[in-house]
Structure 1
Amino acid sequence: MRNRYQIDISDEHSGSVFLPHQLNLDTALYKIAFGTVAIDAKFKQQPDSRMTITISKDIAEELKIPTIKIPLHLFIENETMLVGPLVGIFTSGFTPFPMRPIGERSMFFAKLLSVSKNVGALPFVFGEKHIDWEQGTIKGLFYHLEGWRTIEVPFPNVIYDRLPNRKSERQEELRNVKNRLQTEYLIPWYNPGFFSKMDIYERLQQEDEVTRYLPETQPFTSLSAIETMLSDYGHVYIKPVNGSLGLGIHQIIYDKHEHTYFCRYRDHKVDKNILRKYPSLEALMKHVFGGKKLTRMLVQQGIYLLRKDQRPIDFRVHTNKDEDGNWNVTAMAAKIAGAGSVTTHVKSGGVIKSMSEIFDNDAEKISATEKLKTAVLILSEALDENIEGILGEIGFDLGLDRDGRVWLFEANSKPGRSIFKHPQLKEFDLLTRKLSLAFSIYLTEQMLTKPEEIFR
């Protein structure tokens, strides 16, 4: 971790910034910056051995530096010293309640912001209504000492996108905010956009190194195309192109001995897993899908997965970029499907397990873990190259078949966090939160030194 310094505010020495003696600066400094605002200042050495940055009160007030005791990084470029980074976390769904300002997600954001001391960044949550465009300020929500506070700050150095769903992402007002902050203020915006399954598949197909992880996937076109895939693979999955949480997934199985078809899915109206038998594919499609349009669905090759207690297993693996801009594997867990369930999601009866609980044999566990790690790092780099915008974290749903081959089922730009309810995964919960903010340090540095790399 780069050096971080506690920031002290002083009532004395107007217009001055005092730096520790250990900071041997080769360049003259004339400005101090916080967020996207920079002002003139006089830079001096601390009169004693303190390892702090002391800023006069008038400068702190003009820069709107909050009186929150968090050690921050220093970035020096073009005779300016930036203290930060100031990280804006953009979302929607705010409420008028001070104890729960972001509704049910308030606890998630409180936990995310609580790692700021370990990271050396100053994060806050904001939405469209918190921005004062004329003043260039934001009334941000800070979580400090077990409570929420609203503090006015300048526009941030970087923005972390935590919009909750595709519906919010499509809202014109929110899209305008994103566009304006990126284009007019040149603020890097990371983790933009939910992935589309078909789009991800088509983009990854261009990369030779990753095609081995991709099950055959096609947009729905006709029954004959499904028949062909059933003949090849024995079973297929029909999924919504933009689905999430396992909603709307159907498994179709062909019994070649009896020439019959089965469909497994979850009926969310009655909250049950359903398995039905049909004499033909036409009968199945008519009964299950009725008059529904299938143009927004895809058909994916079925994989014969590893099983535990006769139930299929898949794996959730998280990757995050760190403060050096490198991908790291930050969490890994197995998910066992519920009885008769088409997915491993907890709401459909799925159970989260650690890798040790899945593999009795240490050698098998190590082999599976290494295969999954190798796959997600390759896939993360490939997505980074092929997706517009700046990626900072990805959640992968992967399978291991009976031969030990890794398959990618889904990649999520805003991964859910249900696996972290498992007691053995608490440390990974903390690591993913820390790195999701630590990446802002890298982006701030890049923005100051190589902005063309960020906005290429």
Structure 2
Amino acid sequence: MRKKYPVEFIHHSKQLVFIPADLPNSKDIRRVAFGNKLLPVTVAPHPKGRNVIVLSNDVQKELSMPDLSVPLHVFIDQQTLFIGPLIGILTSGFTSYPLRPIGERSMVFAKLLSVNKSVGALPFVFGEEHIDWDQGLIDGYFFVDGGWKILKVPFPNVIYDRLPNRRTERKSELRSLKARMQTDYLIPWYNPGFFSKLDVFERLQQDERAVEYLPETHQFSSFSVMERMLSNYGNVYVKPANGSLGLGIHQILFDKQNGYYYCRYRDQEGINKLTKFDSLEKLMKKIFHNRNLSQMIVQQGIHLLRSDKRLIDFRVHTNKDEYGQWQLAAIAAKIAGNGSVTTHVNNGGTVKSLDELFEDQEERETCEKKLTKAALTLSSVLEKNMEGIIGEIGFDLGIDKSGKVWLFEANSKPGRSIFKHPKLKNFDLLTRKLSLSFGVFLAEKAITAPEELFQ
């Protein structure tokens, strides 16, 4: 277990650092580092034998280290004492309002930063516009004592990517920022990019451990492929390859007895519709007339478990922990709204804990075990087959009437709407802690074994 130490500051001007009495391998320390700042110092054991780190205020000023009363980790490598880590959380959409500097997402970030003491790190939020490249400093947004505070800090040990959407991520300034931080400063960057649905399925198909969870999925190519899938499965889902929040998803059903095709979807006014056609061509022409079908995927329909005749699927979050291992972080059931094609809350869906969904304990435990195994297996396979450092994934999984688990989607930046449910508060806290704990793991790796990260 890594230890965390309180950090204190004293008025002194001799670039002095007192180190904890129980810190091993400390005799040869010649420098101290915070973020990407490095400073030669005079090091001595704490004169009273206390297990704290004490910095003279000239060292604190040179390192741009804020005094936030947060116990921090220390790592020793090449005669340098690294204190931190400093975790930069990159996002966009900053406002001029001090109480809500990141608009509607301010509270989400405030809750994320609030686990700093239990994790032993200094996390802050920043945007591309807050970086001073010449000075190597960032105006970081910290959440302190219930309010936002802007403090100048060095470039961080690691960057956690929380850019809100694909459009922002594609901006040239942000792409060059990422390249510069990784190449010039060797800063690990975790959770980059948004997954493409089709890309995820194609990569998972390369590993036999994942194949059993994958419904048949194709990029739209022809009506004949859809006809075959409808004949085989009775229904298919047509969805945008890069969609989110359940937007643009259509379920197409084929009634073999009377030869009719049905389409269930949500229209632009937010009303759930079910329309009937006597041919697939007529359905596609009417419903998809203004859509680029090459940007859509067609996926096998599954006969899912139901609750009061409403479809059920499951949101399962996995995170990497402070040792770089995948953990199940959250699990919840989502029940579709009346007549809805998806289980999303904005489509009238409801969230339930597994306790609420399954009255029978054995049934609940069996379901939880299957979903956990699937999510951890898929996390491991995705990490191996996707570019970049992945630290969290949100899976949409289904269980069919025979008890088999299916993957519908994997999200690299999972939404947090399930955590509004009062019975999921502990999961909410755990996912936030793990998001930053993985940053501690990456910071230590970047210091002690950078070749493992930057191959």
- Verify: 1:383 aligned to 2:382, yes or no: yes
Distance in 2 separating the partners of 1:178 and 1:133: 13
Kindly report which structure 2 residues correspond to 1:19-418, keeping only aligned pairs within 5 A, or say none.
Answer: 19-25=19-25, 27-267=27-267, 269-418=268-417
Distance in 2 separating the partners of 1:448 and 1:169: 28
Output the amino acid matched with 1:392: G
Give SS of 1:370's match.
helix
Shift in Å at residue 445 of structure 1?
1.0
Output the amino acid matched with 2:330: A
Output the amino acid matched with 2:357: I
Give SS of 1:44's match.
strand
Shift in Å at residue 179 of structure 1?
1.0
**Contact 1:226/1:299 (8 A) holds in 2:** yes
Output the amino acid matched with 1:151: L
> Which range is displaced more, 343-352 or 283-292?
283-292
Distance in 1 separating the partners of 2:233 and 2:49: 70
Distance in 2 separating the partners of 1:281 and 1:360: 41
CA-based RMSD: 0.8
Output the amino acid matched with 1:326: Q
Shift in Å at residue 291 of structure 1?
3.7
Give SS of 1:135's match.
coil
Distance in 2 separating the partners of 1:110 and 1:72: 19
Question: TM-score, structure 1 length as denominator?
Answer: 0.99
Shift in Å at residue 451 of structure 1?
1.0
Distance in 2 separating the partners of 1:60 and 1:291: 60
Q: Per-residue displacement from partner, 1:29-66 (whole Å, max 9, x unpaired)?
A: 00000001111011101111322100000001000000
Distance in 2 separating the partners of 1:24 and 1:170: 45
In structure 2, the residue matched to 1:451 is: 450
Q: Per-residue displacement from partner, 1:57-88 (whole Å, max 9, x unpaired)?
A: 00010000001110000010000000000000
Distance in 1 separating the partners of 2:111 and 2:24: 36
Distance in 1 separating the partners of 2:349 and 2:392: 24
Q: Per-residue displacement from partner, 1:267-296 (whole Å, max 9, x unpaired)?
A: 1x2211110011110110011011422010
Distance in 1 separating the partners of 2:207 and 2:27: 44
Distance in 2 separating the partners of 1:293 and 1:6: 57
Output the amino acid matched with 1:152: K
Report the number of matched residues: 455
Distance 1:180 1:232, change over 3 A: same
Output the amino acid matched with 2:212: R
Structure 1 vs Structure 2: percent identity of aligned residues?
A: 58
Q: Per-residue displacement from partner, 1:329-376 (whole Å, max 9, x unpaired)?
A: 010000000000000000110000000111121111000000000000
**Contact 1:397/1:409 (8 A) holds in 2:** yes
Shift in Å at residue 12 of structure 1?
2.6
> Which range is displaced more, 326-335 or 4-13?
4-13
**Contact 2:12/2:58 (8 A) holds in 1:** no
Shift in Å at residue 170 of structure 1?
0.8
Shift in Å at residue 14 of structure 1?
1.9
In structure 2, the residue matched to 1:427 is: 426
Output the amino acid matched with 1:281: L
Distance in 1 separating the partners of 2:345 and 2:175: 32
**Contact 2:34/2:83 (8 A) holds in 1:** yes
Shift in Å at residue 13 of structure 1?
5.8
Q: After the TM superposition, which segments of 4 or more aligned residues of structure 1 sit over 3 Å from their partners?
A: none
Output the amino acid matched with 1:354: S
In structure 2, the residue matched to 1:16 is: 16
Give SS of 1:213's match.
coil
Distance in 1 separating the partners of 2:9 and 2:325: 35
**Contact 1:14/1:57 (8 A) holds in 2:** no
Distance 1:265 1:88, change over 3 A: same
**Contact 2:238/2:299 (8 A) holds in 1:** yes
Distance in 1 separating the partners of 2:21 and 2:327: 35
Distance in 1 separating the partners of 2:289 and 2:231: 24
**Contact 2:260/2:279 (8 A) holds in 1:** yes
Q: Could you list the runs of 5+ residues in structure 1 that have no partner in the other structure?
A: none
Question: TM-score, structure 2 length as denominator?
Answer: 0.99
Distance in 2 separating the partners of 1:190 and 1:135: 24
In structure 2, the residue matched to 1:439 is: 438
Distance in 1 separating the partners of 2:126 and 2:21: 37
Give SS of 1:295's match.
helix
Distance 1:352 1:413, change over 3 A: same
Shift in Å at residue 26 of structure 1?
5.6
**Contact 2:335/2:351 (8 A) holds in 1:** yes
Distance 1:447 1:437, change over 3 A: same
Q: Could you list the runs of 5+ residues in structure 2 that have no partner in the other structure?
A: none
Give SS of 2:394's match.
strand
Shift in Å at residue 27 of structure 1?
4.9
